Structure 1
Amino acid sequence: MNTENTAKMDAMADDLPKKLHIAMFPWLAFGHIIPFLELSKHIARKGHHISFISTPRNIERLPKIPLDLASFITFVKLPLSRVENLPENAEATMDVPHHIIPYLKIAYDGLQEPLSRFLETSTPDWIVYDFAPHWLPPIAVKLCISRAFFSVFSASCLGFLGPPAESSVMEDAIYPKGTRMEPERLTVPPKWVPFPTKVAFPLFMAKQLVLGFYEENASGISDWFRYSKTVLGTEFIAVKACMEVEGEWLKLIGKLYNLPIIPVGLLPPSVEDQGGHDDNKDSTWGTIVEWLDKQDKGSVVYVAFGSETKPSPEDFKELALGLEQSGLPFFLVLRKQNSQENGEDLDDQIPEGFEERTRDRGVLWKGWAPQVKILGHDSVGGYFTHCGWSSVTEAFQFGRPLIMFPIFGDQILNGKLLEEMQTGAEVPRNEQDGSFSRESVAKTLRLVMKDVEGQIYRDKAKEMMTTFGDKQLQDRYVDKFVELLENHGQACGDR
C-alpha cells in the first residue's frame, strides 16, 4: 500500500510544472531595471527562483522586495570595471549625462566574463535579457540556457523599428540597402505598417535617432547592432504590452520578426510596492500629501521627466515659464543626475523669480518623489510627462490625461501613439529644430486640464483605467508568460 501511494505521489509530482531558476539581466537604466524587477516579482509569486543580476549600487537603490517573495529572489551583484571617461560610482544612466552613456555600455560589456562564470556555475533554466548585451545569446546557447528577450519598449516602438536587417528579406525589398536609416524615412510610418498611424519621428528627432541609435558610438558599435543581435539570438520576444492597447502592433511584430511575441501585460506597480532612492520616503510622502490634500480635486498638474531623461536647461526654463503662464496649480519634480552635466546646479535651471511668483499655487520639489502615490492622489488632474512607457502606465492606472513633452527615442513614438488614442496632447514643436514657446506650453496645459475642448483627453484617459488599472487582466498576461517558461525550455538533457 505504501509503495502504491508513493507511486501515485510521484506521478502527481511529475504532472506539476517544474520549479525553474530564471536569471534576469536588464540594461543599466532604472527605466529598464524596474520593469525587469516587476516581472521578476510576478514570476517569483509562482514559486520560481529568480537571480536578478545587476551592479552593486543599482541593486542597493532598488525598492525593497515584499517579505513573502524575499526567499525567491536572489540579487547577484557584478561590479563594473573602471572605464575611462566614466565617473566613479556611475552605474546607471541616471548617474551620467547623455553623451557619457556609451562609456557605460563599455563597462556593461565588461560584465561578459563575470556573467558567463555565474551562468556556468548556477545553470539557470532561462535567462531573460535586455537589448544591450549583444554577446549574451551565444554564451547562453553554449551553456544550454533558454533565452528570452524582454522589451520594456512599447509594441508600436518595435513595430516602427522593424526586424533586424539580417533577418528580413522584406526590408531590403522595400527600402534600398541603408536608406531605411535616412532621417527623412523616419518621419513617416514604415511601409511595412499596413494600418494608418501617426507613429513616426519629427525631422529634428529623426536626425538625433540616426546619430544615437543607428550609428556606431564610443562603445565601438551601434545600439541597432546590439538590438539586432539580442533579437536574433532569442527564442521569443516578451513585450511590456497588452492586446487591449496595442493589439494591431503586437500582431504586426509577430509577422515582421517571425518569432513568438508574448505580451506580458503592462506591469503596473502597486502603491504598496512604491519605493525609491530616498532613505526618508515616509517623511517625504507626509510632506507631499499635506500639500496635495489642500488642493481642489483634479486641479493639480504633476510635472516630472523620469529618472533617465531631462530637458535641456533652456527647454526646462521655457517649460517652467509656460507652467507659470498657465495659471494652474502644479507639483514640479526637479531631479539632478548624480554626475552633473557641466557642473550645473539645480537652482541654475529655474527661471529667475519663478519660485517666488508661483509659491502660492505650486511646489518645486528637488529630488526623488513617490510618483505612483502622487499620481493616485485625488487632487492630481493631469501629468506633464516625457512619455516613458513605465510612467505612462503609472498615469493610466489612475486615469490621468497627459500633457506630453517627449525628449528622445521611444518617448517620441509613445507620444504619437498616445495622441492617436486621444489620451493626451503634445506640446507643439517646430519639426525642423524642435523649438517651442512658453505660450504653447500654457495653452496645451489648459487644454488638457480644464478647457471644454480637452474633455476628450480626460474622458479617454479615464477609459484607460479599465485596462491599465485592471490587476486581474494584467496578471493573466504574466501567468501565460510563466506557463511558456515552464513548458518550452531548451531541451539539452541533463546539464
Structure 2
Amino acid sequence: MTRVSSTDHDNQLHVVMFPFFAFGHISPFIQLSNKLSSHGVQITFFTIPGYVSRIKTLLTPKSTTQIIPLQIPTIQGLTDTTAGTSDLPTSKHGNLMKALDLMQPQIKTLLSELKPNFVFFDFAQYWMPSLASELGIKTFFFSVFSAISGAYITVPARLTGTEGSNVTVTDLKNPPPGFPPSSTVRLRTFEGRDFLFMFRSSDGGPRGIDRNIVGFRGCTAVIKKTCHEMEGPYLDFMSSQFGKPILLTGPLVPQPPSGVLDEKWENWLSRFEPKSVVFCSFGSETFLNDDQIRELALGLELTGLPFFLVLNFPANVDAGAELARALPEGFTERMKERGVVHSGWVQQQLILAHKSVGCYLCHSGFSSVIEALVNDCQLALLPFKGDQFLNAKLLVDDMKAGVEVNRRDEDGYFGKLDVYEAVKKVMVEVEEEPGKSIRVNHEKWRGFLLDRTVQDKFISDIVVEMRGMAKKDCQDSSTA
C-alpha cells in the first residue's frame, strides 16, 4: 500500500492511529478513524499483521485510511499471524507489552517518513509522547475507557499513600482522594481484586498504572470516548488530576448496520413478539466458567422469555464439547422452542436492531451498551472484568438506564435467581419501579445518542481544535 505523507496534502490533517493490540482497543480507534475520515482527515493505522484484514472490513466504504502492518519483534509466543490478545492466554498478554516497547525504533522510522500532524496512541505506549516530540509531532492519548473508570483507577491520586506495589484490594474498594463527592461508586471485593493487575508488572516492564500516568502527563492532549452529559464530574476530576485539555469524541455512536441478518437468525427471531427476545452475549474475549454458564442458562429459562445466548471460548477449546458439559441437563431439549445457544461470531448490531429483540444482557463493554441504547434494547448488565465493572455502575447509578445482575461480594458468584430478577425488572415489571423509571431514562439517553447534530459536533469540534494546533505549528515554523 502506498504511504501518504502530510506533504502530499498541504492543507489536510494527517493522523496516525496506534492502538494497543486488543480488539476492544482497536475497535474505538477504527470508529474514530471513520468519523475523522468523513471530515477530510487523512488516517494511517498502525497494527500487527494478524489484525489487518479485520480492520479493513470495518472501515467505511469511502475511507481513505491506509493500514501499515508492523513487524512483530521476536518474542516467545508471538508470530506474524498473532491477532493480539485473542490469540494469547491472559498470562501471556505481557508479551504484547514487551513487543510494543521493542517497536520504538520501527515506529520512529515510520513517523519520520510519514510526518503526520498527530499520533493518537493508547495506554501501553507510554513512550510515544517523548518519541514523537523529538520529531515535532503532537500526541493525543486516546483513552478508550469510560471517564468513570479512568477517574477511579488511573489517576495519580490513586497512588496517594502507597509505595511500590502496595496497593491492596481494600484500597481499590474505595475511590481515590478527591473523587467526585456526588458519586456513590464503590467496588466490591471481587472487583477490587480484579483491578490489582494494573498495579503489578507482568512483563518486568512498567505497571499498567504507570504506563497510563506517564502517557497522560506527556501527551499534548487527552481524548476520551465520552461526553460531559454522561460523565461530567469524572471528566472534570481527570482534568484536574493531569492538568491537560480533554477533548471529547462523544460515545462514538455507530452508523446503522449495513447488510441483512443471516436468514437462519432472521427466521428464528421473527417467530416472536416485538421487543420480547433477550439477546445475551459477552464479546469475543470474555469466557464464562461452567458454573456461570449453568446459572446463566437456568436464569434465562426462569424468565419465560425467548432468548438468544452467545457463549464464546478460548481458541484451543472445543466449544461443542464445552457447551455439552456446562449446560444444565435437559436444557437444550426444554428450550428448543424458545431458546438458541450459539458459539462463534454473530451479527450483533443487526440482532440488536431486530424488532423482536427487547433486552441485551451483556458484559457492560462501553461500545456494547451504546449499541443497546440506540437500538432501544433494555440493559441487564453482568460485568466480568476491568472497566466493565465501572461502566455498569455508570449506567445503573448515574444514568439510571439499566439494571445489574446481583453478585456476591467476595467472589462475584451469581445464581439463576439473580439473572432472573435483573431481566424481570426491565422486561416484565415495566409499569413498576424501578423498571418504569429505567425505561424512561433509557428513552432519554436514546434520544440524545440519536441526535446526529449533537453527535457530529463532537467530531467537528475535535477537527477544529486539531486544525488550530496544526496552523499554529506552521506559524511557529515560519517565524523560527
User: Normalising by the residue count of structure 1, what TM-score does the alignment of the two structures yield?
Assistant: 0.87
Q: Is the contact between residue 149 and residue 236 of structure 1 (CA under 8 Å) also seen in structure 2?
A: yes
Partners of 2:10 and 2:257 lie apart in 1 by 30
Partners of 2:92 and 2:331 lie apart in 1 by 31
Cα deviation, residue 312, structure 1: 2.7
SS at match of 2:262: helix
Cα deviation, residue 259, structure 1: 0.5
Match of 1:438 among 407, 416, 424: 416
Cα deviation, residue 199, structure 1: 2.3
Identify the residue that residue 4 of structure 2 maps to in structure 1: none
Identify the residue that residue 338 of structure 2 maps to in structure 1: 361
Q: Deviations over 1:325-368 (max 9, x none)?
A: 22221111122333449998454443343222211101112211
Match of 1:201 among 187, 210, 217: 187
Pair 1:147-2:162 in alignment: no
Identify the residue that residue 383 of structure 2 maps to in structure 1: 406
SS at match of 1:103: helix
Q: Is the contact between residue 132 and residue 223 of structure 1 (CA under 8 Å) also seen in structure 2?
A: yes
Q: Is the contact between residue 318 and residue 437 of structure 1 (CA under 8 Å) also seen in structure 2?
A: yes
SS at match of 1:50: strand
Q: Is the contact between residue 240 and residue 265 of structure 1 (CA under 8 Å) also seen in structure 2?
A: yes
Q: Is the contact between residue 134 and residue 226 of structure 1 (CA under 8 Å) also seen in structure 2?
A: yes
Q: Deviations over 1:235-265 (max 9, x none)?
A: 1110000122112222222222210011111
SS at match of 2:464: helix
SS at match of 1:67: coil
Q: Relative to structure 1, is the Cα distance of residues 352 and 114 closer, same or farther in structure 2, using a 3 angstrom cutoff?
A: farther
Q: Relative to structure 1, is the Cα distance of residues 105 and 313 closer, same or farther in structure 2, using a 3 angstrom cutoff?
A: farther
User: Partner letter of residue 35 of structure 1?
Assistant: P
Structure 1: where are the runs of 5+ without partners? 1-15, 275-281
Partners of 2:453 and 2:264 lie apart in 1 by 33
Match of 1:47 among 30, 40, 51: 40
Q: Deviations over 1:443-489 (max 9, x none)?
A: 22212211234222222222211122222211110111111111114
Pair 1:27-2:20 in alignment: yes
Match of 2:455 among 460, 464, 474: 474
Partners of 1:141 and 1:207 lie apart in 2 by 37
Partners of 2:420 and 2:80 lie apart in 1 by 40
Q: Relative to structure 1, is the Cα distance of residues 349 and 122 closer, same or farther in structure 2, using a 3 angstrom cutoff?
A: farther
Pair 1:18-2:11 in alignment: yes
User: Partner letter of residue 259 of structure 1?
Assistant: K
| Structure 1 stretch displaced more, 297-306 or 190-199 | 190-199
Q: Is the contact between residue 46 and residue 67 of structure 2 (CA under 8 Å) also seen in structure 1?
A: yes
User: Partner letter of residue 440 of structure 1?
Assistant: D
Pair 1:307-2:293 in alignment: no
Pair 1:97-2:89 in alignment: yes
Q: Is the contact between residue 131 and residue 227 of structure 1 (CA under 8 Å) also seen in structure 2?
A: yes
Q: Relative to structure 1, is the Cα distance of residues 250 and 64 closer, same or farther in structure 2, using a 3 angstrom cutoff?
A: closer
- Give % identity: 32
Q: Is the contact between residue 222 and residue 247 of structure 2 (CA under 8 Å) also seen in structure 1?
A: yes
Q: Is the contact between residue 72 and residue 78 of structure 2 (CA under 8 Å) also seen in structure 1?
A: no
| Structure 1 stretch displaced more, 342-351 or 265-274 | 342-351
User: Partner letter of residue 99 of structure 2?
Assistant: A
The count of residues paired between Structure 1 and Structure 2 equals 463
Identify the residue that residue 458 of structure 1 maps to in structure 2: 439
Pair 1:493-2:470 in alignment: no
Partners of 2:243 and 2:219 lie apart in 1 by 11
Q: Is the contact between residue 71 and residue 80 of structure 2 (CA under 8 Å) also seen in structure 1?
A: no
Structure 2: where are the runs of 5+ without partners? 1-8
Q: Is the contact between residue 231 and residue 237 of structure 1 (CA under 8 Å) also seen in structure 2?
A: yes
Q: Is the contact between residue 257 and residue 349 of structure 2 (CA under 8 Å) also seen in structure 1?
A: no
Pair 1:316-2:293 in alignment: yes
Partners of 1:323 and 1:345 lie apart in 2 by 19
1:210-359 to 2 correspondence within 5 Å?
A: 210=196, 212-218=197-203, 220-272=205-257, 285-340=262-317, 345=322, 347-359=324-336
Q: Which has the higher contact order (CA 8 A, sep 6+)?
A: 1
User: Partner letter of residue 479 of structure 1?
Assistant: S
User: Normalising by the residue count of structure 2, what TM-score does the alignment of the two structures yield?
Assistant: 0.90
Q: Is the contact between residue 128 and residue 139 of structure 2 (CA under 8 Å) also seen in structure 1?
A: no
SS at match of 1:139: helix
| Structure 1 stretch displaced more, 48-57 or 189-198 | 189-198
SS at match of 2:413: coil
